Amino acid sequence: MNRLLLMTGSIACAKASGLISAWVKQGDQVKVVATRSALKFVGKATLEGLSGQSVACDAFESNQMMEHIHLSRWADVMVLCPASANVINKLSAGIADDMLTTTWIAGHGLANKKIVVPVMNTFMWEYPATQNALANLQSWGVKVIQPVAGDLACREQGVGRMPEVNDLLTQIEALL
């Protein structure tokens, strides 16, 4: 299976990288699209080393002008993990202003599956615009894996934590 992991900026990028390893071990092809902020949390070299593929992060990189189209057609499944409130709200509003959002939107209407794994502070998770955006995405056929309660990176406790990688893998496979 061709799996496209789309990563937004979050401390959970380190944990989400475990998805790449697991998918590669089971024989899947994995490519990664990362926002600039995601690459502040986990390096391009790490993602390339795990996937064996170059990481897409710049929609205007030389000789890559149509990469967002190619990636959206290549993927059997797009998994947005970790998904920040910012990007969730952008996707719901149709804003395509970087490699990740243009790739996601370019894949609308294709046969591939789209899964969002929100990861954020509890107040950001509960923010009405974020909840409305998720409901909107779901109405378009996007699957959402709910965050779990527990210790958050901000040293608070609440809902917004990424599920453990093994739980996440099980939930993703169930949706496929």
* Sheet with 2-7, side-by-side order of all strands: 55-56, 29-34, 2-7, 77-83, 113-118, 143-144
Which structure tokens are listed for 27? 């024989």
Residue 168 and residue 103: Cα distance in Å, rounded? 22
Contact 123, 92 (CB under 8 A): no
Which structure tokens are listed for 70? 């190619």
* Active-site pick, 13, 57, 81, 154: 154
Which structure tokens are listed for 65? 């002008």
**Catalytic residue list contains 154:** yes
Determine if the peptide bond prior to 118 is cis (ω within 30°): no
Q: Which of 138, 72, 130 is nearest to 99 (CA)?
A: 72
Residues with catalytic roles: 154
